[in-house]
Structure 1
Amino acid sequence: MSLASKRKVISRRLFQSIPVIVLATFIVFGLLKLVPGDVAVTLAGDNASDERIAEIRHIYGLDRSFLVQYGSWLWKAIHGDLSASLVSSEPVITSIARCLPHTLLIVALAMIMALVIGIPLGIAAASKPGSWLDGFVMAIASLGVAVPNFWLGMLMVAFFSLTLNWLPATGAVPLTEDPWGALSHAILPACALASGGIAEVARQLRSSLVEILSSQQVRTLHAKGLSPSSILWRHGLKNVSVNLLTVISLLANRMLAATVVVEAVFAIPGMGSLIVNGAIHRDFPVVQGVVFSMVLIVVTLNLVTDVLYSVLDPRIA
């Protein structure tokens, strides 16, 4: 694929992502307005006068119309200003910069686990379809899909942290300050998050490989005398690479969403905890800032996936 074609794909995908970002933030902004309670009353205190409450509404722009509030926020966000927290007065971008690395570390470890374990399991199952190995792998995969992340996380805390005292049960450490400490805190959350991912990768890869290996093209390769291992590695995996990339992309997006629950179980100060606390306290700028940053991450992942599609299969554009 030529450089000009890649630029064309990137430009088109970026243009298509703009409505997604605007729509996602608009919907969240509207839903926050429907949450019961008045943030101005919360900020002013229970015994505040009506004049004080009205003053706070005016200071934070809460007395303006919905569209004006959203338009003002979006204009500032485009220019890199995500406002400040209504509760702590800390700039939202500072809170995100502090919490985002914890979430990304957990998701990255979980993705590595899902691929390192899931791909060999899928290949092993597809190499002997219908065998006891295939049945065993599929049973493990079904179990991984069925077990909730939060329940598995609590079991891991009880066994590896409280019983064996191998790994920390809660909290997080910045990767830049203590790399090993950060990894040790992230291992259990990543394992809990990766359980469903391992199952998904194994099942999807096994299904795609079985379909490819039973095709007429592969039967012709067998007739030409190619060994089964050569067919599997040189032809089977190459043909399922696009499908596998789709699974990886969707899995990464789902893991980003699932970190909300996992971070709550392990008391990790990541993006999930930040958005939950923001929603509880009706801290609109924090929730909007987190949603905006997460949407940008998802859009970036999808953009990278689209470019890789074109690299793996030039017919896709």
Structure 2
Amino acid sequence: MSGAALRTSAWRGLQVIPVVIIATLVVFLLLQLVPGDPAITLAGENATPEQIEQIRALYNLDQPLLVQYGQWLLNAMQGDLARSLMSGEDVTRLILQNLPPTLLIVTCAMAISLAIGIPLGVMSAIHRGGVLDTIATALASVGIALPNFWLGMILINFLALQNNIFPATGAGSLLQDPLNALWYAFLPALSLAAGGVAEIVRQLRSALLEVLDSQHVRTLHAKGLSPARIVWQHAMKNVSTTLLTVTGLLFNRLLGATVVIEAIFAIPGIGSLIVRSAIAKDFPIVQGVVFTMVLLVILGNLIIDVLYPIFDPRVER
């Protein structure tokens, strides 16, 4: 790993602390606005005030909010994400159980976005103003405007319920049967990928057009290089950092969008877990999921930053 990559890794590592604190604190405070008292829920409707107070003391719910948050954060930094208020299960184990389906969907959605978006963006730039360009830009506009939850319901109705090609709900085990897990993940990933394809096409087309109009590319044409070689060996190298940036932002967006998609496809991922826990005011699970998602976003950004100088040695960090 180069010195630039090491400096980037160290800087991103330091950024984890304030980002995690701000994100989890905001979520913790927002949860207080959800109606209901978790102590009453745990004790039951017929519980006495003394029993409710005992529950509050047992789970530190009688402490000031900032004290509760501070205790949780200190434990989280040591790898202890506490236990669920409702079930008593270890939050870390719950997250690890629900994380694989979410990561699989996000990974598949990114793969679909890149596999479709890069060729479309390149063809759109090469055939600027032509039929292919018009079709690609039109599809990109539709993809950005299309709500992924609506697309998910259309795909369920057409490809699952009417034609029984793909499963409508649920998720498969990636360890036990990888092909079955991918089969279950395809429709949710396709629902998420529509916006990703559109974003990649638009950004890649714009960056490529700028490169193709440069003096450098005109010189390559004058030297007799074929258009395909100019695009794939030279122009794409110049837009690699743009593509990496779009990919990093796409990962962040897809990770957040899985909350809605998992609800539509009844997928037992961390998106569904955080929704159920927020409704039940199960603070430890919500905080644990947010903590995990923040770390995943930071890790994704770190990987992109490390790849910058690899794809383009001119980039220094």
User: How does the TM-score come out when normalised to structure 1?
Assistant: 0.97
1:316 aligned partner, one-letter code: E
Task: Tell me by how many angstroms 1:264 deviates.
Answer: 0.7
- The residue that corresponds to 1:16 in the other structure is 15
- The residue that corresponds to 1:316 in the other structure is 316
Query: CA offsets, 1:252-271, max 9 Å, x none?
Result: 11000000011011000101
Determine whether 1:71 maps to 2:70: yes
Deviates more, 1:34-43 or 1:201-210: 34-43
- The residue that corresponds to 1:102 in the other structure is 101
- The residue that corresponds to 1:28 in the other structure is 27
- The residue that corresponds to 2:178 in the other structure is 179
Determine whether 1:85 maps to 2:96: no
Query: CA offsets, 1:133-185, max 9 Å, x none?
Result: 10011111111111111111111111111111111100112211222221111
Determine whether 1:228 maps to 2:263: no
Distance 2:16 2:286 in 1: 20
Query: CA offsets, 1:96-142, max 9 Å, x none?
Result: 11110000000111111001111000011011101111001111111
- The residue that corresponds to 2:163 in the other structure is 164
2:288 aligned partner, one-letter code: G
Aligned CA RMSD, in angstroms, stands at 1.2
Distance 2:136 2:66 in 1: 52
1:62 aligned partner, one-letter code: L
Structure 1: state its 5+ residue gaps: none
Task: Tell me by how many angstroms 1:275 deviates.
Answer: 0.3
- The residue that corresponds to 2:194 in the other structure is 195
Distance 2:59 2:24 in 1: 19
Distance 1:154 1:99 in 2: 22
Residues 5 and 305, structure 2, Cα contact 8 Å, conserved in 1: no
Q: Which runs of 4+ in 1 moved over 3 A?
A: 2-5
Distance 1:239 1:4 in 2: 22
- The residue that corresponds to 1:255 in the other structure is 254
Q: What SS does the aligned partner of 1:83 have?
A: coil
Distance 1:149 1:18 in 2: 32
Distance 1:182 1:173 in 2: 4
1:135 aligned partner, one-letter code: T
Q: Following superposition of structure 1 onto structure 2, how do residues 142-157 of structure 1 map, counting pairs within 5 Å?
A: 142-157=141-156
User: Structure 1 residues 104 and 311, CA, compared in 2 at 3 Å: closer, same or farther?
Assistant: same
Distance 2:226 2:105 in 1: 40
- The residue that corresponds to 1:306 in the other structure is 305
1:237 aligned partner, one-letter code: M
Distance 2:151 2:21 in 1: 36
Task: Tell me by how many angstroms 1:311 deviates.
Answer: 2.1
User: Structure 1 residues 265 and 200, CA, compared in 2 at 3 Å: closer, same or farther?
Assistant: same
Task: Tell me by how many angstroms 1:294 deviates.
Answer: 0.5
- The residue that corresponds to 1:240 in the other structure is 239
Distance 2:107 2:90 in 1: 26
Residues 237 and 312, structure 2, Cα contact 8 Å, conserved in 1: no
- The residue that corresponds to 2:214 in the other structure is 215
- The residue that corresponds to 2:286 in the other structure is 287
Q: What SS does the aligned partner of 2:230 have?
A: helix
2:239 aligned partner, one-letter code: V
Identity %: 56
Task: Tell me by how many angstroms 1:312 deviates.
Answer: 2.5
Distance 1:166 1:117 in 2: 21
Residues 277 and 285, structure 2, Cα contact 8 Å, conserved in 1: yes
Deviates more, 1:269-278 or 1:301-310: 301-310
Task: Tell me by how many angstroms 1:3 deviates.
Answer: 3.3
The number of residue pairs the alignment matches comes to: 316
2:261 aligned partner, one-letter code: V
Distance 1:7 1:179 in 2: 35
User: How does the TM-score come out when normalised to structure 2?
Assistant: 0.97
Distance 2:246 2:226 in 1: 28
